[in-house]
Homo-oligomer: A and B are copies of this chain.
Amino acid sequence: MRTYLYPTSAELLEILKRPEKDSDNLENLVKEIFDDVKLNGDEALRAYSLKFDCVDLPILKVTEEEFNDAKSMVSADLKGAIQIAKNNIIKFHEAQKEAVKFIETMPGVTCWRKSVGIEKVGLYIPGGTAPLFSTVLMLGIPAVLAGCKRIVLCTPADKNGKINPAILYTAQLIGITDIYKVGGIQAIAAMTYGTESILKVYKIFGPGNQYVTAAKQFAQQLGIAIDMPAGPSELMVVSDEYSNAAFVASDLLSQAEHGEDSQVILISTSKVFVQDVERELVKQLDFLPRKEIALIALVNSAVIVVQQVEIISIINEYGPEHLILTTQFDEEIIEGVINAGSVFIGKYTPESAGDYASGTNHTLPTNGYSKQYSGVSLDSFVKKITYQKISKEGIKNIGKTIEIMAEAEGLQAHKNAVTLRLNSLS
């Protein structure tokens, strides 16, 4: 990690720039696979599994037997932990439910809105080295709470045609059983168009590599909603001389081990403290199985020593996905933060708490998208319908207003719809 001492505003802008994305043009590949899946359905999915994942899957859907096997393979400890995480995530997301409020904007004019679960949603869970059963919780729980009627989950099988048992166990635990062994671009295509096995959905959620990301963008152009644009994971930690160097180093590393493209930024008002952190990093790195990944991520990362007064503007300029505040002035800083995905406050609040079990969602806006996007929440799985009901008294109260405005916009039929009603009452 490179250390910058009191950079100027212009230098800060440069330091906080995210690494340019490798904008491989994947569009042709994505289009080709989408066309194939649209035309050939399950057959195309099976062909791609054979080609990309080297596995022949006559049946794509996970069977009852596979769920049972998974259940027996997950340890009691892990089951207990998943249950606690589930409870916490439910508590936090359930509180996001919005009660219907009837608003009488004028006497006789009543308006309200109601949240309705999106009927058909698709969740994508990547394969790869880490079996992301935590993401099953983070996407599945709000989908179920929102009342989505059909929830499809796609995740690639390994070379033996198996899905990690913790993923299957977690999905079944929260009530998701439409699980299909398909990954990559073809999984997103399947949920976009539907196939013989897999339901066409209205919105697709979930993380993924560059292929999945490109496929989700393509699906969005076809009218399918997606959770949010994707980018590499990132963490900003704000510290001072009273922070705990070992804790801060452990947080930086827990972000860095995510992937080689992860970005971690340490902001501090103390030159001495950042040196302590550097020493701790070296010490802790040695014990990590994912040390190589973390080391590469740290190269993209920065330590910035700044004045106290600059902190809030630096946070908002960067708009970090994860923000840890562990200073004497956390409460003041919180008030000023407008761009961040999720904020972790104080010495005993590691980012990994939010990644797994505290209750907040871990699907968050990266790449500075916290400036305009929220993380996943119950809101992501509903749409809000508005309603209005106007009484005879109400149309008498509001009618003239509508007539004048419609006339001024040159929309005579809009006016007429009111005039006819008013005349019938006079």
Q: How far is the CA of A305 from the CA of B119 in the complex (A)?
A: 26
Q: How far is the CA of A80 from the CA of B414 in the complex (A)?
A: 19
Nearest CB in chain B to that of A415: its residue: B352
Q: How far is the CA of A284 from the CA of B350 in the complex (A)?
A: 67
Binds B, one of A1-9, A63-71, A265-273, A386-394: A386-394
**Beta-carbon contact of A253 and B416 below 8 Å:** yes
**Beta-carbon contact of A109 and B130 below 8 Å:** no
Interface flags for A363-379 (1: CB within 8 Å of B; 0: not) read 00101111111110101
**Beta-carbon contact of A385 and B337 below 8 Å:** yes
29 A-B residue pairs with Cβ-Cβ distance under 8 Å, sorted by A, are A80-B404, A81-B400, A81-B401, A92-B105, A95-B101, A118-B371, A119-B371, A130-B410, A133-B405, A133-B408, A134-B405, A220-B220, A244-B424, A247-B421, A284-B413, A288-B412, A340-B385, A343-B385, A344-B387, A348-B390, A349-B390, A351-B417, A353-B388, A353-B398, A355-B406, A356-B402, A356-B406, A371-B383, A377-B386
CB contacts (< 8 Å) of A369 on chain B: these are: 223, 225
A156 at the interface (CB under 8 A from B): no
Q: How far is the CA of A119 from the CA of B338 in the complex (A)?
A: 8
Interface flags for A77-111 (1: CB within 8 Å of B; 0: not) read 11011101101100110011010010101100101
Determine which of B84, B134, B246 lies in contact with A398 in the assembled complex, contact meaning CB atoms within 8 Å: B84
Q: How far is the CA of A295 from the CA of B350 in the complex (A)?
A: 63
A37 at the interface (CB under 8 A from B): no
A357 at the interface (CB under 8 A from B): yes
Interface flags for A288-314 (1: CB within 8 Å of B; 0: not) read 111000100000000000000000000
Name the distance in Å between A104's Cβ and chain B's nearest Cβ.
8
A287 at the interface (CB under 8 A from B): yes
| Given known contacts A95-B103, A372-B203, A413 and B256 CB-to-CB distance under 8 angstroms | yes
Name the distance in Å between A350's Cβ and chain B's nearest Cβ.
4
Name the distance in Å between A259's Cβ and chain B's nearest Cβ.
11
Q: How far is the CA of A130 from the CA of B411 in the complex (A)?
A: 8
Q: How far is the CA of A85 from the CA of B404 in the complex (A)?
A: 11
| Given known contacts A350-B417, A374-B384, A405-B356, A91 and B78 CB-to-CB distance under 8 angstroms | no
Name A180-232 residues within 8 Å CB distance of B: 202-203, 217, 220-221, 223-225, 229
A345 at the interface (CB under 8 A from B): yes
Determine which of B287, B375, B402 lies in contact with A416 in the assembled complex, contact meaning CB atoms within 8 Å: B287
A49 at the interface (CB under 8 A from B): no
| Given known contacts A343-B386, A372-B203, A413 and B348 CB-to-CB distance under 8 angstroms | no
Name the distance in Å between A385's Cβ and chain B's nearest Cβ.
5
A116 at the interface (CB under 8 A from B): yes
Name the distance in Å between A238's Cβ and chain B's nearest Cβ.
14
**Beta-carbon contact of B412 and A353 below 8 Å:** no
A420 at the interface (CB under 8 A from B): yes
**Beta-carbon contact of B388 and A384 below 8 Å:** no
A250 at the interface (CB under 8 A from B): yes
**Beta-carbon contact of B131 and A409 below 8 Å:** yes
Name the distance in Å between A286's Cβ and chain B's nearest Cβ.
12
**Beta-carbon contact of A413 and B346 below 8 Å:** no
A113 at the interface (CB under 8 A from B): yes
A155 at the interface (CB under 8 A from B): no
Q: How far is the CA of A289 from the CA of B407 in the complex (A)?
A: 11
**Beta-carbon contact of B82 and A405 below 8 Å:** yes
